[in-house]
Amino acid sequence: MRKIGILGGGHVGATAAFVAASRDLGEVAIFDIMEGMPAGKALDMTQTAPVLGYDGLVTGSHDPAILAGSEVVIVAAGFPRKPGMGRMDLLKKNVEIAEAAGTIVKTHAPDAVVICVTNPLDVMTWVVQQTSGFEPARVMGMAGMLDSARFSAFITMELGCSPKDVRAMVLGGHGDSMVPLARFSTVNGVPITELIPADKIEAMVDRTRKGGAEIVKLLGTGSAYYAPGSCAVLMAEAVLGDTGRILPCSTWADGHYGLGEVYVGLPIQIGAGGVTKIVDLDLTDDELAALAKSAGGVAKGIAEVKALLA
């Protein structure tokens, strides 16, 4: 049976575990440092299986050894974003968590592909990759997927169409400088630029950039978890099934789009080993400039982390 490890059993991790189990992706193992909590959530999900009719086995423990044998590990541990808190404000609080996650995966699931959800996402993905020592292709970040899902939802709301027909493309860092690409976002193959006035598209772009903060403000405490957890599982499914899906995710740019050594949201093809290809879109000069600016913000965050770890 295939195995998915969930590192962090909070809202995002538990959502990812439940979605993975309900989609019958294989055995799901939840690790969290809180004794009892991961086992309790796993038991609850196991008791849900007869109700919803899935076969996925779910286990949980505060011992990281439970992750042994995982082919994919979703890193969902982290300090939650609070109202008024910028993503980079999370930097210091989550560096230690991301370092610990990288060490745990390296020790207990050394052959796994890693999908990082911890914020600030692009920077924390880099920390996990550096700490684990895995090749960059095996360590991805969930951003891009989540940002595109939010853009897709706003397109659906505007047009009153089925979300099944909407495919949006958002690149760049997971933050206010992300780059939603309207001309690469479609409804059943039709670009939204043919369906929605420019001013309304711009309003949706702005809302997408502020999508996380909007949910944080509404919740009052905590941040989004249904969509982030589900996006991470979709990526894990692409790895486990070696499907070759092309999805916007945080990846090691390595010169693509004129970017340097930085993690940032780009369209990638995902297979059994993680990132099998970075897809190079024909972007305009303005789009490339916006992407470079966004990547620059991530590079600054990485530099800050390097200073912290020095």
143: pLDDT confidence band, cut at 50, 70 and 90? confident
- Cα distance between residue 58 and residue 41, in whole Å: 9
Mean pLDDT of 227-243: 98
pLDDT of res. 82? 64
Q: What are the φ and ψ backbone dihedral angles of 286, each rounded to 5 degrees? A: -65, -40
* Cβ(278)–Cβ(265) below 8 Å: no
pLDDT of res. 91? 72
pLDDT of res. 207? 97
Q: Is the pLDDT of residue 300 over 60?
A: yes
83: pLDDT confidence band, cut at 50, 70 and 90? low
78: pLDDT confidence band, cut at 50, 70 and 90? confident
Q: Is the pLDDT of residue 86 over 70?
A: no
Burial of 297 (0-12, 13-18, 19+ CB in 10 A): buried
Q: Is the pLDDT of residue 158 over 60?
A: yes
* Cβ(172)–Cβ(272) below 8 Å: no
The residue with greater pLDDT, 88 or 135, is 135
The residue with greater pLDDT, 240 or 88, is 240
Q: Is the pLDDT of residue 87 over 60?
A: no
**DSSP secondary structure code for residue 79 in this structure:** P
Q: How many CA atoms lie within 13 A of 130 on its CB side?
A: 17
- Among candidate residues 234, 169, 247, the one with its CA nearest the CA of residue 208: 169
Q: Is the pLDDT of residue 223 over 80?
A: yes
Mean pLDDT of 5-32: 97
Here the tokens at position 30 are 């939840």
Q: Give 205's contacts (C-beta < 8 A, 6+ positions apart).
A: 151, 180, 182
**∠ CA(179), CA(19), CA(77), 5° rounding?**
65
- Cα distance between residue 108 and residue 90, in whole Å: 26
* % of the chain beyond a pLDDT of 70: 96
- Among candidate residues 211, 241, 234, the one with its CA nearest the CA of residue 87: 211
In angstroms, the Cα distances linking 167 to 9, 156, 161, 234 are 30, 10, 12, 14
Ordered by where they begin, the domains of the chain are: 3-141 (3.40.50.720), 145-309 (3.90.110.10)
- Cα distance between residue 130 and residue 292, in whole Å: 22
Whether the pTM exceeds 0.85: the reply is yes
Enumerate the β-bridge partners of residue 170.
Answer: 180
pLDDT tens, position by position, 25-51? 999 999 999 999 999 999 999 999 999
User: Mean pLDDT score of the chain, rounded to an integer?
Assistant: 94
Other beta carbons less than 10 A from residue 217's beta carbon: 11
Other beta carbons less than 10 A from residue 199's beta carbon: 7
**∠ CA(51), CA(145), CA(252), 5° rounding?**
130
pLDDT of res. 92? 76
Instruction: Tell me if residue 174 is catalytic.
Output: yes
